[in-house]
Amino acid sequence: MDKYFLALIAVLVVGLACAGLATVYAGTPGAMATYSAADNGKTISMKSGDTILVALDENPTTGYSWNVTASPGLKIVEDKYIAPQPGLMGAGGAHQWQIHATGTGTMQFDAVYKRPWEATTGNESTFHLTINVA
Protein backbone atom coordinates (compact mmCIF):
# COMPACT_ATOMS: atom_id res chain seq x y z
CA MET A 1 0.00 0.00 0.00
CA ASP A 2 2.85 2.41 0.75
CA LYS A 3 4.29 1.96 -2.77
CA TYR A 4 0.98 2.98 -4.34
CA PHE A 5 0.66 6.00 -2.07
CA LEU A 6 4.20 7.15 -2.98
CA ALA A 7 3.48 6.62 -6.68
CA LEU A 8 0.32 8.71 -6.38
CA ILE A 9 2.23 11.48 -4.62
CA ALA A 10 4.91 11.41 -7.35
CA VAL A 11 2.27 11.72 -10.09
CA LEU A 12 0.66 14.67 -8.27
CA VAL A 13 4.00 16.44 -7.83
CA VAL A 14 4.87 16.03 -11.53
CA GLY A 15 1.38 17.26 -12.53
CA LEU A 16 1.68 20.35 -10.32
CA ALA A 17 5.16 21.08 -11.69
CA CYS A 18 3.81 20.94 -15.26
CA ALA A 19 0.94 23.26 -14.33
CA GLY A 20 3.45 25.70 -12.83
CA LEU A 21 5.51 25.69 -16.02
CA ALA A 22 2.39 26.39 -18.07
CA THR A 23 1.71 29.41 -15.86
CA VAL A 24 5.28 30.69 -16.28
CA TYR A 25 5.14 30.32 -20.06
CA ALA A 26 1.76 32.12 -20.24
CA GLY A 27 3.60 35.32 -19.26
CA THR A 28 6.27 35.05 -21.93
CA PRO A 29 6.65 37.55 -24.76
CA GLY A 30 3.82 37.22 -27.25
CA ALA A 31 1.23 36.83 -24.49
CA MET A 32 -1.72 39.22 -24.76
CA ALA A 33 -1.16 42.50 -22.91
CA THR A 34 -3.91 43.27 -20.39
CA TYR A 35 -5.11 46.71 -19.29
CA SER A 36 -7.34 47.56 -16.31
CA ALA A 37 -8.77 50.57 -14.48
CA ALA A 38 -5.23 51.31 -13.27
CA ASP A 39 -4.35 52.12 -16.90
CA ASN A 40 -7.12 54.71 -17.34
CA GLY A 41 -5.86 57.71 -19.30
CA LYS A 42 -2.67 56.02 -20.49
CA THR A 43 -1.25 55.94 -24.01
CA ILE A 44 0.00 52.56 -25.18
CA SER A 45 1.67 51.29 -28.34
CA MET A 46 0.98 48.13 -30.30
CA LYS A 47 1.47 46.77 -33.79
CA SER A 48 -1.25 46.34 -36.38
CA GLY A 49 -2.42 42.75 -36.14
CA ASP A 50 -1.83 42.53 -32.37
CA THR A 51 -4.61 41.97 -29.85
CA ILE A 52 -4.90 43.37 -26.31
CA LEU A 53 -7.30 42.70 -23.46
CA VAL A 54 -9.11 45.39 -21.47
CA ALA A 55 -10.71 44.17 -18.22
CA LEU A 56 -12.88 46.43 -16.05
CA ASP A 57 -14.91 45.68 -12.92
CA GLU A 58 -18.64 45.60 -13.55
CA ASN A 59 -21.75 44.84 -11.48
CA PRO A 60 -24.76 44.51 -13.79
CA THR A 61 -27.01 43.50 -10.86
CA THR A 62 -27.09 47.25 -10.03
CA GLY A 63 -28.11 48.15 -13.58
CA TYR A 64 -24.69 49.61 -14.37
CA SER A 65 -22.64 48.39 -17.30
CA TRP A 66 -19.82 49.64 -19.50
CA ASN A 67 -20.82 51.33 -22.76
CA VAL A 68 -17.73 51.07 -24.99
CA THR A 69 -16.63 52.71 -28.22
CA ALA A 70 -13.53 52.02 -30.29
CA SER A 71 -12.00 54.00 -33.14
CA PRO A 72 -12.09 52.65 -36.66
CA GLY A 73 -9.01 50.43 -36.98
CA LEU A 74 -9.76 48.73 -33.66
CA LYS A 75 -12.00 45.70 -33.77
CA ILE A 76 -13.59 44.23 -30.64
CA VAL A 77 -13.21 40.51 -31.30
CA GLU A 78 -14.52 39.32 -27.93
CA ASP A 79 -16.87 41.01 -25.48
CA LYS A 80 -17.73 39.01 -22.37
CA TYR A 81 -18.77 39.38 -18.76
CA ILE A 82 -17.02 37.18 -16.18
CA ALA A 83 -19.47 36.52 -13.32
CA PRO A 84 -18.30 36.27 -9.71
CA GLN A 85 -18.08 32.91 -7.99
CA PRO A 86 -21.43 31.16 -7.56
CA GLY A 87 -23.18 31.95 -4.31
CA LEU A 88 -22.07 35.59 -4.13
CA MET A 89 -25.46 37.22 -4.67
CA GLY A 90 -25.19 40.81 -5.86
CA ALA A 91 -21.40 40.69 -6.18
CA GLY A 92 -19.80 42.21 -9.23
CA GLY A 93 -17.56 40.54 -11.75
CA ALA A 94 -15.49 41.85 -14.62
CA HIS A 95 -16.14 42.75 -18.23
CA GLN A 96 -13.46 41.89 -20.76
CA TRP A 97 -12.88 43.04 -24.32
CA GLN A 98 -10.30 41.62 -26.70
CA ILE A 99 -9.32 44.41 -29.07
CA HIS A 100 -7.56 43.66 -32.34
CA ALA A 101 -5.71 46.40 -34.24
CA THR A 102 -6.63 46.26 -37.92
CA GLY A 103 -5.21 49.63 -38.98
CA THR A 104 -2.47 52.07 -38.05
CA GLY A 105 -2.45 55.46 -36.39
CA THR A 106 -3.64 56.93 -33.11
CA MET A 107 -6.86 55.33 -31.91
CA GLN A 108 -9.10 55.43 -28.86
CA PHE A 109 -10.88 52.88 -26.69
CA ASP A 110 -13.43 54.59 -24.44
CA ALA A 111 -15.94 53.28 -21.90
CA VAL A 112 -18.62 54.93 -19.74
CA TYR A 113 -20.03 53.10 -16.70
CA LYS A 114 -23.72 53.95 -16.46
CA ARG A 115 -27.25 52.66 -16.51
CA PRO A 116 -28.27 52.49 -20.18
CA TRP A 117 -31.68 54.06 -19.57
CA GLU A 118 -30.27 57.12 -17.79
CA ALA A 119 -28.98 60.22 -19.53
CA THR A 120 -25.24 60.86 -19.50
CA THR A 121 -24.49 63.60 -16.98
CA GLY A 122 -20.68 63.79 -17.04
CA ASN A 123 -20.43 62.42 -13.50
CA GLU A 124 -20.12 58.79 -14.64
CA SER A 125 -17.01 56.67 -14.22
CA THR A 126 -15.06 56.57 -17.46
CA PHE A 127 -12.14 54.66 -18.94
CA HIS A 128 -9.98 56.01 -21.75
CA LEU A 129 -7.06 54.36 -23.51
CA THR A 130 -5.16 56.01 -26.37
CA ILE A 131 -3.58 53.41 -28.62
CA ASN A 132 -0.75 54.20 -31.05
CA VAL A 133 -0.78 51.46 -33.67
CA ALA A 134 2.24 51.06 -35.96
For residue 91, the model assigns a pLDDT of 80
Quick: pLDDT tens for 34-64. 999 999 999 999 999 999 999 999 998 899 9
Q: Is the pLDDT of residue 66 over 80?
A: yes
CATH at residue 84: 2.60.40.2020
Quick: pLDDT tens for 6-25. 333 433 333 333 333 333 33
pTM for this entry: 0.74
- Do 15 and 61 belong together in one domain? no
- Do 68 and 88 belong together in one domain? yes
- Do 62 and 36 belong together in one domain? yes
Give the separation between CA 86 and CA 83, rounded to whole angstroms: 8
Which residue range forms the structural domain that includes residue 11?
Answer: 1-31
- Do 56 and 100 belong together in one domain? yes
- Do 13 and 69 belong together in one domain? no
- Do 20 and 38 belong together in one domain? no
- Do 66 and 120 belong together in one domain? yes
- Do 41 and 18 belong together in one domain? no
For residue 90, the model assigns a pLDDT of 73
| Torsion on CA atoms 8, 10, 11, 12, rounded to nearest 10 | 90
Q: How does strand 93-101 pair with strand 65-70?
A: unpaired
For residue 70, the model assigns a pLDDT of 98
- Do 20 and 70 belong together in one domain? no
Query: Side chain identity at 108, as an amino acid letter?
Result: Q
pLDDT tier for residue 30 given thresholds of 50, 70 and 90: low
pLDDT tier for residue 97 given thresholds of 50, 70 and 90: very high
- Do 19 and 37 belong together in one domain? no
- Do 127 and 106 belong together in one domain? yes
